[in-house]
Amino acid sequence: MKNIVLIPGDGIGKEITKAVTDILDASGANLHWIECKAGESAYKETGNPLPEETIEAIKKHRIVLKGPLTTPVGAGFRSINVALRQKFNLYSNIRPAKSLPNIESPFRAVDIVLFRENTQGLYFGKEHWVDGDTKNHAESIAVVTRDASEKIITAAFEYAKKNKRKKVTLVHKANILKLTTGLFLDIGKEIAENYPEIEFQDLIVDNMAMQMVLRPQQFDVIVTTNLFGDILSDLASGLVGGLGVTGAANIGDDAAMFEAVHGSAPDIAGKGLANPTALLFSALMMLEYLNQYRTAEKIRSAVYTVLQDHKEDCTKDIGGQGTTESYSEAICKLLIN
Ligand code: NAI
Ligand code: MG
């Protein structure tokens, strides 16, 4: 039995982690959940948004399934999501966005896997007031290193090779941010030479945003720096039905954390409206990471059947009439029978 650190998190976190652990348990996946606290709820309860016991549990078990964590806007504690990614050097943030059956969308046949550098860029956390207490002049520093760039770009190419993907698009802003994203682009060009069988393309981020909306089918694997990856992955979610249906993985050399692209959605928390598919797809990436491919496939196929044949049980964000619970029950029923 594999030990998994489970962090339910904030907002809709409790509802969706319950749905997902119910589904994984019903599928026969061989997992043991070790529940830990983090985020705003942990801060309110213990005074610490990232308690020492949670860090110790991750150090010991190395695999985390995490619900979303609220980060106060402006002042307050720094993002615990970013802190966890940095602390355990989870440099690869992998965010697939694939069209699903029976979900209304103006876009068809989208199948994108976005690799976002997860530890540096403008999210490094180097911000300060230039003018001290007057607070009228702020500065933020973006960090890009060869080592981290090589790791994420190589991860994207290796994924493309393993999964028989045809093209890698590197997204940057090297015309303006010549040193930071320029370095990222140069390293991409160097690494691309080791993969002659994979087409390599680079695009400037503003053009990329337009191209993804105009003709998303032209993209296959995408690799980019932290901030651009954050924004473009929400855009990619929007192409396939929204934030309720896109999972993600944060992977390092010796630890991995699986979480959805979306946040804690305070606007719908506690109302049974949250779609657990996003966290469920993250959990399927976890099962694949654990080489439990068959179980992952069994669950994916149950999700597709529910979307296709039991739409009324699905949550409202994807056109259903049900709740988080009715949707997860419909999936569990298929898995048990
Ligand atoms: P959000 O992703 O929580 O919500 C954006 C919109 O998508 C909302 O309208 C929400 O109702 C909807 N939505 C999100 N997940 C959904 C789901 N599973 N089913 C149905 N609808 C869903 O982004 P927002 O509102 O900007 O951020 C809220 C909080 O989450 C903030 O404190 C932010 O810092 C945090 N956050 C945490 C992340 C993480 O834990 N990895 C990622 C992104 C944001
Ligand atoms: Mg985001």
- At 202, which CATH number? 3.40.718.10
The residue to mutate among 262, 277, 282, 314, having the most atoms of ligand 1 within 8 angstroms of its beta carbon, is 262
Q: Is-catalytic flag, 43?
A: no
Q: Is-catalytic flag, 173?
A: yes
The pLDDT score that the predictor gives to residue 76 is 86
- Taking CA 113 as the corner, what is the angle to CA 88 and CA 252, rounded to the nearest 5 degrees? 15
Whole-model pTM over 0.85: yes
235 and 247 assigned to the same domain: no
Give a yes or no: residue 120 inside a domain: yes
The pLDDT score that the predictor gives to residue 254 is 94
Q: Which long-range contacts (CB under 8 A, 24 or more apart) does 158-164 make?
A: 159/94, 159/113, 159/115, 159/221, 160/195, 160/198, 160/220, 160/221, 161/195, 161/197, 161/198, 163/113
Give a yes or no: residue 301 inside a domain: yes
Give a yes or no: residue 261 inside a domain: yes
The pLDDT score that the predictor gives to residue 229 is 97
Nearest Cα residue to 215 out of 113, 107, 111:
107
The pLDDT score that the predictor gives to residue 154 is 98
- CB contact at 8 A, 325 and 272: yes
53 and 178 assigned to the same domain: no
Quote the CA–CA distance of 262 and 105 in Å, as a whole number: 19
Q: Using DSSP, how many helices (H) and how many strands (E) does the chain show?
A: 11, 12
Pick the catalytic residue from 25, 131, 206, 309: 206
The residue to mutate among 81, 123, 243, 316, having the most atoms of ligand 1 within 8 angstroms of its beta carbon, is 243
Q: Counting ligands in written order, which one lies closest to the CA of residue 272?
A: 1
- Tell me how far apart the 2 most distant CA atoms of the chain are, in Å: 65
Give a yes or no: residue 101 inside a domain: no
Domain boundary among 187, 205, 239: 239
The pLDDT score that the predictor gives to residue 74 is 84
184 and 199 assigned to the same domain: yes
297 and 324 assigned to the same domain: yes
The pLDDT score that the predictor gives to residue 181 is 97
228 and 122 assigned to the same domain: yes
Quote the CA–CA distance of 151 and 145 in Å, as a whole number: 10
Give a yes or no: residue 328 inside a domain: yes
Q: Which atom of ligand 1 lies at the shortest distance from residue 68's CA?
A: 40
CA atoms in the 13 A half-sphere facing the CB of 242: 14
154 and 218 assigned to the same domain: yes
Give a yes or no: residue 100 inside a domain: no
Q: Is-catalytic flag, 202?
A: no
Question: How many separate domains does the chain show?
Answer: 2
Quote the CA–CA distance of 257 and 90 in Å, as a whole number: 8
Cβ partners under 8 Å of residue 40, min gap 6: 10, 49, 69, 70, 72, 264
In this prediction, the residues of the chain whose per-residue pLDDT falls under 50 are: none
Q: Which atom of ligand 1 lies at the shortest distance from residue 16's CA?
A: 18
222 and 252 assigned to the same domain: no
304 and 199 assigned to the same domain: no
Instruction: List the structure tokens of 37.
Output: 């606290």
With 0-12 / 13-18 / 19 or more C-beta atoms within 10 angstroms meaning exposed / middle / buried, residue 276 is buried
Ligand 1 midpoint to CA 293 (Å): 29
Q: Is-catalytic flag, 133?
A: no
Ligand 2 midpoint to CA 259 (Å): 11
173 and 260 assigned to the same domain: no
Domain limits for position 141: 106-239
Domain boundary among 220, 239, 258: 239
Give a yes or no: residue 136 inside a domain: yes
Over residues 254-297, the pLDDT tens digits come to 999 999 999 999 999 999 999 999 999 999 999 999 999 999 99
The pLDDT score that the predictor gives to residue 47 is 94
